[in-house]
Amino acid sequence: MKSPGRKPGLFLFLSKMKKAIRVAIQGIKASFHEEAAFKFFGKDIQTIECESFKKTCEKLEKGEADFVVMAIENSIAGSLLPNYTLLREYGFAITGEVYLPIQLHLMALPGVKLEDVKYVTSHPIAIRQCIDFIDEFPHLKVVESADTAACAKKIRDEQLTDTVAIANTLAAELYGLNIIERRIESNKKNFTRFLILKSDKTEDNQEINKASICFQVGNHVGALSKVLNIFADYEVNLTKIQSMPVLGKRNEYYFYVDIEWKNMEKYDTAVRKALKYTVNFNIMGEYIKNDKV
């Protein structure tokens, strides 16, 4: 049986590797990026901790990692725009995707009670997603950090009895913290989409039904709609479109588009026709749709 959400070719590649595959993640162990990596590849992998998304790309470029797991959008916070720039600049191939439900818990050292706590710490986005809960405790001072799991680790390492962290279950388990309150996020339908990147664009096989593309169009009336109508005419569904300005060029934009299809021939035809009306057209990756949360 084929593993859902992965190309069979990619799955065979992974199964033939003698050593655990190396996956670069932004953040430390037990971060949401590691959780997403586990969901896609399974837990028999080596995660490489990186302090930034750019560092993950550098690891892949230098051959120090086999794949990168990169967050690209959140259902509440929106798109991670700088990551689109990294995708274009490094030219890596998108070879898969994974959706992860973001469940946030309040955690502390064993024995610590919420009424005795002075500080709550987490990533700024996680804090915003839990603001309704935090507002119920006005005595808590919010301390922002670069990584949710790092906050949990700091509490463990420094034995902070006056601080609670907002992070995931994985972080609580790894760093020996007790979960005081579960699911404190304001919106329970909160998920993040992650892309799986590899260094080359060689095809694993032809069993694909989703692609991420990037292009530019001329600055005149109907230029973008012409391209989008081509995909519609050939029954290729646009699931997302994101614009980004071209650095240093007025009124010029890159358009990043995710598309899905049921008929491969219609997709191929649509792409060929779209090429006539675009500039710098780039297929960043073709892969299997995997949107199960």
The model's pLDDT over 84-100, given as tens digits with 9 standing for 90+, comes to 999 999 999 999 999 99
In contact, 150 and 36? CB cutoff 8 Å: no
Residues 21-58: tens digit of each pLDDT: 999 999 999 999 999 999 999 999 999 999 999 999 99
Position 178 scores a pLDDT of 98
Whether the pLDDT of residue 11 is over 80: the answer is: no
Q: Do domains 105-181 and 210-287 have the same CATH topology?
A: no
d(Cα 235, Cα 231) in Å, to the nearest integer?
A: 6
pLDDT exceeds cutoff 50 at 6: no
Q: Which CATH class is domain 210-287?
A: alpha beta
> Taking 50 as the threshold, does the pLDDT of residue 288 lie above it?
yes
**Which class is 8-101+190-198 in CATH?**
alpha beta
Average pLDDT, the chain: 92
Residue 15: its pLDDT value, please?
A: 52
Among 18-22, 171-175, 202-206, 289-293, the minimum mean pLDDT is found in 202-206
Q: So where are the chain's domains? A: 8-101+190-198, 105-181, 210-287
Pick 260 or 75 by higher pLDDT. 260
Strand duo 93-101 + 119-122: pairing: unpaired
CATH, range 105-181: 3.40.190.10
pLDDT of residue 10: 58
Chain segment 210-244, per-residue pLDDT in tens: 999 999 998 889 999 999 999 999 999 999 999 99
Question: What's the pLDDT at 2?
Answer: 37
For residues 9-17, average pLDDT: 53
Question: DSSP per residue over 20-72, as a string?
Answer: PPEEEEEB-TTSHHHHHHHHHH-SSSEEEEESSHHHHHHHHHTTS-SEEEEEE
Q: Would you say residue 16 has pLDDT above 60?
A: no
Question: What is the model's pLDDT at position 283?
Answer: 96
* Predicted confidence (pLDDT) at residue 14 exceeds the cutoff of 80: no
Q: Is the pLDDT of residue 271 over 50?
A: yes
Per-residue confidence (pLDDT) for residue 7, from 0 to 100: 45
Q: What is the pLDDT of residue 224?
A: 95
User: Which pLDDT band holds residue 204 (cuts at 50, 70, 90)?
Assistant: low
Q: pLDDT tens for residues 109-146?
A: 999 999 999 999 999 989 999 999 999 999 999 999 98
